[in-house]
Amino acid sequence: QSALTQPASVSGSPGQSITISCTGTSSDVGAYNYVSWYQHHPGKAPKLMIYEVNNRPSGVPDRFSGSKSGNTASLTISGLQAEDEADYFCSSYTGSYTGVFGGGTKLTVL
Amino acid sequence: QVQLEQSGAEVKNPGASVKVSCKASGYTFTGYYIHWVRQAPGQGLEWMGRINSNSGGTNYAQKFQGRVTMTRDTSISTVYMELRRLRSDDTAVYYCARVSPVAFDYGGNGLEYWGQGTLVTVSS
């Protein structure tokens, strides 16, 4: 199972909006609505930001939103804040109770 | 509160095996699967597999089939991940994780609770 494809890096200024894409195939992202997004600060455990394409866990700001079209899922962060600077990973169910992550995107807040 | 406490860092020689533990607390241990995810230096997250903490049933990523074994001890609410025939590219931080109670437990979906990570270094 190949890793999902994410851009290596994105950047934005405080207050702006950015979108991170996550491209898979018709066997993973395109086939199931079990796409999640994780925020990862180096040295800490990953934090769940979005699950099942567009659901936010309790405590995650509504500045974070998810969507999916075909084989590509997206994470949008609006009203960028300095503390949003981190690595972001997507994941998808791939069938047979297995999963795959994306390669990760480094978000820089300028 | 849900907590996952992992064992400490390990240094292993190539060809050896490593066994990492993950002790769960704050919830009914047998009610959830535990997943294992790793991150090699400078690399992305990698889903390795999951274990049913009740039955012991497992699902492994194809890449690790034959080299990984996940087990559990319900008497002490602990899950173990053993990786054999270690190579230098197995050097990574290994995490255990549990799904959110409101998410479907499919693949890497909805992993809300994570251990602190265990660094495994493979070097001669």
Strand partners, A17: none
pLDDT tens across the length of chain A (110 residues): 688 999 999 999 999 999 999 999 999 999 999 999 999 998 899 999 999 999 999 999 999 999 999 999 999 999 999 999 999 999 999 988 999 999 999 999 99
The amino acid that residue A39 corresponds to is Q
Chain A residue with minimum CA distance to B36? A99
* Chain B closest-CA separation from residue A74 CA (Å): 15
**B44 vs A34, A45, A102: nearest CB:** A102
Question: Please, how many CA atoms are within 13 Å of residue A96, restricted to the half-sphere of its CB?
Answer: 8
Identity of residue B5: E
Among the listed residues B73, B60, B69, the one whose alpha carbon sits nearest the alpha carbon of residue B23: B73
Could you tell me the pLDDT band of residue B101, with boundaries at 50, 70 and 90? confident
| 3-state SS class at A78 | coil
User: Which residues between 33 and 92 in chain B have a beta carbon less than 8 angstroms from any beta carbon of chain A?
Assistant: 37, 43-47, 49-50, 59-63
* Interchain pair A91, B106: CB under 8 A: no
pLDDT exceeds 90 at position B106 = no
